[in-house]
Structure 1
Amino acid sequence: MSRSACLIFNPVAGQGNPELELAQIRAILEPEINLDIYLTTEDIGADELAQAAVKQGADLIIASGGDGTLSAAALAVAGTDIPFGIISRGTANAFAAALGIPDAIDAACRIILQGITRDIDIAYCNDLPMILLAGIGFEAETVDMADRDSKKRFGMMAYILAGIQQLRELEIFDVEIETEDKIIKTSASAVTVANAAPPTSVLAQGPAGVIYDDGLLDLTIVAPNSKAGAIAATYHLFQTASAGNAAERDDIGYLRAKQFKITTDPPQKVVIDGEVVATTPIEIKCVPAALKVFVPSVPEEKLVEKLEGLPNLEIEIKKEC
């Protein structure tokens, strides 16, 4: 066999039959790749298994499971130049969707066998690694409300139900956003900073497509003045994301930058890659081309900034030192 790979498999991910799913993966990959298979357990996570595979000098590292498994393994591989394969079997499968990798096991395996890779960015939020996005305000509160039992029982519907409930307690906060060259002050109910994000992460979809390998982070500000406005803004983001267009409403703004420093009044919860792990203030920095991933396609360049129309907007251009 020409190649060998470490396959990290989470047997409790998703709602399928793990034995059949592992057998399917092996049937497709093993004719061309020699697989060393390691199962995650309650005591040994995907990050530990990936770190061990890196030390052993694996030619490829493949992870199969939900977003938690995939992100943990990916971050352990980042910076090593070892190609990383994704076979998603979770509830949301946001990581795979953000890179255009299908949920179907056979299709995901075929992408690995094709051997096309892209060097994608990762980020750090308050020194915590981030593959997908950080959500401030509405999204963080929604994720916090959608507990593990609800997600296991209802899948993606758990987030929708939590979001509807969170609309009843919609909070507007003041936010200051500092980039390398400007300081922006406005009001918002949600601020999302994305390194990579699928169309289903609607609050990240201000620009026309989040680009995962441009060395920049994509920030979206959602600033409705009412619950009805929040619903309308969210629906608009869903529509524009589905069509591949940039948002056009006055209460939605977006920009791209290498790093952001974000403070809010009052302090807000922050969700990083699906887990509430911090509160504002935060600093997020992009690390370009840190992870080599098997992907099916290349993203297109899109619009990069729109801030006009946001409430109480102030923009200060920073002087060069």
Structure 2
Amino acid sequence: MSASTVVGDEPATAVRTGTVAVVAHRKKTLGGGLDELRAALAGAVGNLIWYEVPKSRKAPKKVRKALRKGAELIFVWGGDGMVQRCADALAGSGTAMAIVPAGTANLFAVNLGIPEDLREAVRIGLHGPRRTLDLGRINGEHFAVMAGAGFDGDLIRVADRDLKGRFGRLAYMWTGLRHVRGELVHTRVTVDGADWFDGDASCVLFGNVGTITGGIPAFDDARPDDSCLEIGVSTADGAVDWARTLGRMAAGRSEESPFLRITRGRKIKVRLAAPRTYELDGGARGEATRLKVRVVPGALTVCCPEAVS
């Protein structure tokens, strides 16, 4: 491609002034790959700085470096883990994120209507409207899609990467029902200072958007710009209960499940009687007996499609 690269359906003739950065997970692929992304941006951006990382956990350092160099827009190439790591570094900076969804599930992009189309994602990044969105924060780290502890954390921890690569979001359900029992643990949850749940639970979830891990529409009313998080507790015990629960969630009827309780709030504290694995945006973080969760309103600026429901 040359400087006349077509982005979407329009020639990229207008060169964007200011500094634009790319932070890319080099092992992720979409369309013509990073070569196509570089060519598309080279013809549309006046000052481009470029970083590639082999693992998403190395991305925040590059984001901070791009910010120090004056980046006004950062393209993030990768999946939800990459987006989460970059969002954590960008939170509160005011610098816009443009997502090129090159991962497996791309749940944040899906919730925002950003397609798995390289040229269209670039067009949205360069010319789409910018939305100021909330992030969640759990034990000091931001998340864009969701966080959870218990069944959800165990499920992600044991999910086989090869299986995930072959079957995508279905791998989470498959692995979970085969290998994760979802044992009940005494759980206490306070929401905005009030006691909300006190009993045995197999999972606690916190959602910033509606569609969460595994592509499941868990929180029907969730919005990433309402200054709230959705909170869900599951009392499902064992594979049969979880199969029923996941079935209701997949059908968009989470609130009808006898094993789910859902509310919303801004500040949440969780105490667990035994250590449970917790995760955020599809990445396991270890075990904890206490979780401090809160919404961070307007923490992240994201380039979005023109029409977002």
TM range (shorter): 0.7 to 0.9
Matched, 1:81 2:94: yes
Count of residue pairs the alignment pairs up: 291
The code of the aligned residue for 2:186 comes to D
Task: Write the distance in 2 (CA, Å) between the matches of 1:170 and 1:2.
Answer: 50
Give the aligned partner of residue 16 of structure 2.
2
Task: Name the SS for the 1:38 alignment partner.
Answer: strand
Is residue 280 from structure 1 mapped to residue 289 from structure 2 by the alignment? yes
Distance 1:286 1:113 in 2: 28
C-alpha deviation, 1:195, in angstroms: 2.3
CA distance in 1, matches of 2:132, 2:105: 23
Question: Could you tell me how far apart the structure 2 residues matched to 1:152 and 1:235 are?
Answer: 23
Query: Aligned in 2, Cα 1:63/1:226: closer, same or farther, shift over 3 Å?
Result: closer
Deviation at 1:217, TM superposition (A): 1.1
Partner of 1:304: none
TM superposition shift of 1:45: 2.6
Quote the residue 2:195 is aligned against: 183
> 1:153-207, CA deviations, whole angstroms, 9 ceiling, x for partnerless residues?
554343233112135x2312222110124202233222111223535546671x3
RMSD: 2.6
Aligned to 1:296: 305
Return the letter of the residue paired with 2:209. A
Q: How has the CA–CA distance of structure 1 residues 107 and 129 changed in structure 2, closer, same or farther, with 3 Å as cutoff?
A: same
Q: Helix, strand or coil for the counterpart of 1:109?
A: helix
Q: Deviations over 1:77-121 (max 9, x none)?
A: 221111110001112212322322212212212222333011111
2:117 maps to which of 88, 104, 110: 104
Residues 235-290 of structure 1: per-residue CA shift (max 9 Å, x gap): 111111xxxx6622232211111111011233322112222213221111111101
What residue identity is the alignment partner of 2:89?
Answer: A
Rate the CA distance shift 1:252–1:263 in 2: closer, same or farther, 3 A: same
Note the 1:232-243 alignment, pairs <5 A. 232-240=244-252
- Which residue does 2:75 correspond to in 1? 62
What does residue 305 of structure 1 align with? Answer: none
What residue in structure 1 maps to residue 278 of structure 2? 270
- The equivalent of 1:124 in structure 2 is 137
Specify the SS of the correspondent of 1:106.
helix
CA 1:286/1:28 → structure 2, altered by over 3 Å: closer, same or farther?
Answer: same
Choose between structure 1 and 2: higher strand proportion.
Answer: 2
Moved over 6 A (4+): 297-300
Q: Give the deviation of 1:147 after TM superposition.
A: 3.6
Which secondary structure does the structure 1 equivalent of 2:87 belong to?
helix
Corresponding residue number in structure 2 for 1:156: 169
Answer yes or no: is the 8 Å Cα contact 1:29–1:113 preserved in 2.
Answer: no
Q: Once the two structures are aligned, what percentage of the paired residues are identical?
A: 26
Distance 1:64 1:203, change over 3 A: closer
Unaligned segments of structure 2, at least 5 residues: 1-14
- TM-score, normalised to structure 1's length? 0.80
Give 5+ residue unaligned stretches, structure 1.
301-321
